[in-house]
């Protein structure tokens, strides 16, 4: 999923301070799963923003809506009837959702309420960790199902650096050494030889190096 | 300010604090009438939004009372409630409202005295802090 | 001979090669470079010039290498992939070679987390193995990494680093093999304090015949004090300092600890001279350049061979 975290309140308050009516829009997808911008978080933020306004002697009307998916025009369209007299839209979706709203509602100010973080997985309740950087040319088939690009702090593709200690990365005890994980997996699979293959310099054109990316499925595109 | 009577909302777990309140009553232990008790099936059932909305609608202090550590009828409802309370404390601090207006307490069903003590102490603490700042601002605006 | 590197000539002659290190200053202070480097004249065969070591901004390695070259010394250009992408790396390699710098070390570099710019973006377009391979192809095939021909390819003698003490230990020999396969000509190891473990690693290296493919220089850092020994043991990732070493350093009075550190360093070198496959020493006397001459002399490694 795409993970996110609520922005500091002060930043959000700064955005909405000039407004009396806002539309606060959550998303039912990734940000719901990582507890950053689903229905619950929309409710909490709405309450917090209203209290903050009351404390400053103002009133703030917040209309709360949580869309099925903010990154799809079909769902974003649902807001058309709700925008009404709102002075700004505050989005709790990832950056994709915020941009979709801005694209569709051109005359509206659209503000992000979360910081989009990374593509990750849930390690345990309440903990999410980075797993993929979307390099566009997946290496997982030769690295035992552990990504060295997303999970090695130095993005090393040919083995651990000299700082790997007891399975941990040199930058923090909280970070697993990706190459220790890869090595353990290769051993478990009985394919240690695979480590010996030198992985050549990567062609980053499939990643961000090639500029903003697009996927076109000819059979689906209209 | 002199005759400020705080409004306190206490979310009480059915298996402990709520029964403890009963016990306090039957033992004729007095506790401040400021405390409005809301019965919940488990402290873990109290969501962050309930606490926030209680404050937003005018409560001056809110507390959640659940079972003693390790004694939750649903295993871990009370620890979750405690985590939520500390989350709300931080959120409140971020919008300039004292986190101390929200607390988590634990007790067993038999602790009538503890219930009365908590209710009294918390009410006194909030009385000293003064009204919920969102109400103060509203009053000033009038 | 692949290159004109003095280091290559010494290795080829079968004599123990000797390198040391010079960390450039944190400012536009060329005299500081000269001062430090001067202390190493005649003591070693090459001087590693570090590249923003510990992820702190310093005078560029290339610029400091040029200063050393002008002094008639033999600089070894260290380069890390942390700060530059493949375009910048290649242009600096040909730039360095154009100034007569013919020996280099390809590294990934310390993570910015450790330095004074933890907010900087990591580049890591290449890793150290890929970097080695790129420089080898520039030299041997005369090709840039993108495939175009190089007009006058840089004939670099290519070094890399190895840490025999980091985890997982069992793949440390394979990691060396990958660097050898990528085209590294020589290796400088992490500082060796745990000689038993190093010997075990070397055994694995010889079993695979890697000592015939790549020259291995044993990394040596004299301890200045018991405090330094403790710091290296506990705070430096990937460093293996046995307890006995810390005990031995702590066991002598403070004013004699420096001498004890040098004694340990000389004993280690003596023992390593007997390890088959060790082709030389890399003496990292961190901010102790003025003691290098003494150490080298007492190790019986002077005078240095001339070619």
Tokens of B5: 């009577």
Residues A10 and A112 in one domain: yes
Cβ of C130 and A158 within 8 Å? yes
Cα separation, A160 vs A1, whole angstroms: 27
Angle between helices B48-56 and B77-94 (to 10 degrees): 40
Residue ranges per structural domain of chain B? 8-141
Quick one: closest CA in A to B141, which residue?
A57
Helix (H) or strand (E) holding C273: helix C257-273
Residues A7 and A111 in one domain: yes
Residue ranges per structural domain of chain C? 6-297
The residue among C215, C226, C227, C213 whose CA lies nearest residue C177 is C213
Give phi and psi for A129, each to the nearest 5.
-135, 150
The per-residue pLDDT for C238 is 87
Answer with the one of A65, A90, A117 that is the final residue of a domain. Answer: A117
On whether any CB of chain C is under 8 Å from the CB of A173, the answer is: no
Separation in Å, CA of B93 to nearest CA in chain A: 10
Residues A23 and A88 in one domain: yes
Quick one: closest CA in C to A184, which residue?
C168
Cα separation, C246 vs A121, whole angstroms: 43
Residues A29 and A96 in one domain: yes
Residues A98 and A141 in one domain: no
User: pLDDT, tens digit, for every residue of A75-132?
Assistant: 999 999 999 899 999 999 999 999 999 999 999 999 999 999 999 999 999 999 999 9
Residue C174: which of A163, A172, A195 has the nearest Cβ?
Answer: A195
Q: Which residues contact A98 (CB under 8 A, 6 or more apart)?
A: A70, A91, A110, A111, A112
Has residue A103 been placed in a domain? yes
Torsion from C-alpha of A101, A103, A107, A110, nearest 10 degrees: 40
- ipTM summary value: 0.94
Tokens of C149: 């021909």
On whether any CB of chain A is under 8 Å from the CB of C128, the answer is: yes
Structural domains counted in chain A: 2
Residues A11 and A90 in one domain: yes
User: pLDDT, tens digit, for every residue of C149-203?
Assistant: 999 999 999 999 999 999 999 999 999 999 999 999 999 999 999 999 999 999 9
Q: Which residues contact C179 (CB under 8 A, 6 or more apart)?
A: C128, C129, C132, C160, C162, C187, C214
* pLDDT digits (tens), chain C, 307 positions: 999 999 999 999 999 999 999 999 999 999 999 999 999 999 999 999 999 999 999 999 999 999 999 999 999 999 999 999 999 999 999 999 999 999 999 999 999 999 999 999 999 999 999 999 999 999 999 999 999 999 999 999 999 999 999 999 999 999 999 999 999 999 999 999 999 999 999 999 999 999 999 999 999 999 999 999 999 999 888 899 999 999 999 999 999 999 999 999 999 999 999 999 999 999 999 889 999 999 999 999 999 999 8
The residue among C217, C221, C164 whose CA lies nearest residue C186 is C217
The per-residue pLDDT for B136 is 82
Cα separation, C59 vs A42, whole angstroms: 51
On whether any CB of chain C is under 8 Å from the CB of A201, the answer is: yes
Cβ of A55 and B48 within 8 Å? no
The greatest distance separating any two alpha carbons of chain A, rounded to the nearest whole angstrom, comes to 69
In the block, residue with structure tokens 């088959």: C276
Cβ of A51 and B52 within 8 Å? yes
* pLDDT digits (tens), chain B, 142 positions: 558 999 999 999 999 999 999 999 999 999 999 999 999 999 999 999 999 999 999 999 999 999 999 999 999 999 999 999 999 999 999 999 999 999 999 999 999 999 999 999 999 999 999 999 999 877 776 5
Residues A14 and A109 in one domain: yes
Has residue A221 been placed in a domain? no
Cα separation, C20 vs C219, whole angstroms: 9
CATH 3.90.950.10 assigned to C6-297: no
Residues A93 and A34 in one domain: yes
Mean pLDDT (chain A, rounded): 96
Residues A96 and A138 in one domain: no
Q: Is C80 buried (19+), middle (13-18) or exposed (0-12) by CB count in 10 A?
A: buried
- In this structure, are residues C156 and C102 in contact, taking their beta carbons and an 8 Å threshold? yes
Do chain B and C touch: 3 or more Cβ pairs under 8 angstroms?
no
State which residues form the domain around A90.
2-117
Helices (H) and strands (E) in chain C, counts: 12, 8
Residues A138 and A169 in one domain: yes
User: pLDDT, tens digit, for every residue of B30-58?
Assistant: 999 999 999 999 999 999 999 999 999 99
Preferred mutation among A153, A162, A174, A197 to probe C, highest tally of C CBs within 10 A: A162
Residues A110 and A148 in one domain: no
Pick one of 2.30.29, 3.40.50, 1.20.120, 2.40.160 as the CATH number of B8-141: 3.40.50
User: Kind of pairing, strands A127-132 and A114-124?
Assistant: antiparallel
The per-residue pLDDT for A84 is 87
Helix (H, G, I), strand (E, B) or coil at C281: strand
Cβ of C124 and A155 within 8 Å? yes
């Amino acid at each position: 999923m795409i993970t996110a975290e609520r922005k500091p309140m002060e930043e959000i308050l700064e955005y909405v301070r000039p407004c009396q009516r806002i539309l606060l829009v959550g998303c039912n997808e990734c940000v719901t799963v990582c507890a950053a911008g689903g229905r619950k978080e929309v409710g909490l933020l709405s309450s917090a923003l209203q209290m903050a306004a009351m404390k400053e002697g103002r009133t703030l009307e917040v209309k709360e809506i949580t869309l099925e998916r903010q990154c799809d025009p079909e769902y974003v369209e649902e807001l058309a009837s709700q925008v009404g007299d709102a002075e700004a839209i505050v989005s709790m979706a990832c950056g994709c959702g915020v941009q979709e709203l801005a694209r569709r509602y051109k005359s509206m100010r659209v503000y992000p309420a979360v910081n989009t973080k990374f593509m990750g997985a849930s390690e345990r309740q309440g903990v999410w960790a980075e797993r993929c950087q979307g390099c566009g040319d997946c290496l997982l088939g030769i690295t035992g199902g552990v990504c060295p690009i997303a999970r090695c702090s130095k993005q090393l593709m040919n083995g651990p650096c000299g700082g790997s200690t007891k399975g941990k990365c040199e930058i923090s005890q909280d970070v697993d050494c990706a190459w220790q994980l890869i090595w353990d997996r290769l051993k478990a699979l009985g394919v240690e030889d695979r480590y010996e293959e030198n992985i050549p310099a990567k062609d980053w054109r499939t990643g961000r190096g090639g500029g903003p990316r697009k996927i076109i499925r000819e059979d689906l595109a209209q | 300010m002199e005759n400020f009577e705080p409004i306190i909302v206490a979310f009480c777990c059915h298996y402990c604090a709520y029964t403890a309140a009963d016990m306090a009553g039957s033992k004729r232990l007095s506790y401040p009438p400021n405390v409005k008790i809301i019965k919940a099936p488990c402290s873990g059932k109290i969501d962050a939004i309930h606490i926030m909305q209680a404050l937003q609608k005018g409560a001056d202090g809110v507390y959640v009372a659940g079972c003693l550590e390790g004694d939750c009828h649903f295993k871990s409802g009370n620890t979750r409630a405690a985590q939520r309370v500390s989350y709300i404390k931080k959120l409140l601090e971020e919008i300039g409202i004292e986190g101390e207006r929200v607390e988590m307490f634990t007790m067993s069903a038999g602790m009538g005295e503890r219930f009365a003590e908590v209710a009294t102490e918390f009410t006194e603490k909030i009385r000293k802090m003064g009204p919920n700042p969102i109400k103060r601002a509203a009053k000033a605006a009038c | 001979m692949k290159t004109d590197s003095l280091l290559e000539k010494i290795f080829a002659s079968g004599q123990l090669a000797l390198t040391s290190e010079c960390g450039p200053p944190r400012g536009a202070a060329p005299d500081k470079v000269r001062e430090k480097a001067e202390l190493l004249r005649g003591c070693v065969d090459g001087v590693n010039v570090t590249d923003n070591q510990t992820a702190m901004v310093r005078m560029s390695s290339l610029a400091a290498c040029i200063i050393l070259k002008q002094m008639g010394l033999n600089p070894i250009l260290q380069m890390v992939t942390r700060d530059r992408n493949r375009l910048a790396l290649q242009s600096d390699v040909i730039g360095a070679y154009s100034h007569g710098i013919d020996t280099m070390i390809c590294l990934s570099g310390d993570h910015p987390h450790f330095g004074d710019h933890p907010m900087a973006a990591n580049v890591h377009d290449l890793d150290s193995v890929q970097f080695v391979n790129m420089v080898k192809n520039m030299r041997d095939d005369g090709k840039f990494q993108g495939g175009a021909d190089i007009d006058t390819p840089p004939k670099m003698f290519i070094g890399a680093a190895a840490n025999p003490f980091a985890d997982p230990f069992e793949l440390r020999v394979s990691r060396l093999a990958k660097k050898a396969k990528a085209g590294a000509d020589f290796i400088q190891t992490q500082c060796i304090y745990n000689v038993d473990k190093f010997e075990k690693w070397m055994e694995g290296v010889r079993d695979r015949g890697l000592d015939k493919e790549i020259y291995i220089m044993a990394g040596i850092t004299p301890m200045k004090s018991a405090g330094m020994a403790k710091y290296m043991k506990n705070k430096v990732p990937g460093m293996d300092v046995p307890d006995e070493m810390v005990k031995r350093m702590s066991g002598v009075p403070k004013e004699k600890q420096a001498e004890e550190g040098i004694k340990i360093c000389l004993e280690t070198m003596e023992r390593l001279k007997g390890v088959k496959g060790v082709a030389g020493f890399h003496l990292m006397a961190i901010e102790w350049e003025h003691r290098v001459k003494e150490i080298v002399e007492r190790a019986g490694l002077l005078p240095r061979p001339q070619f």
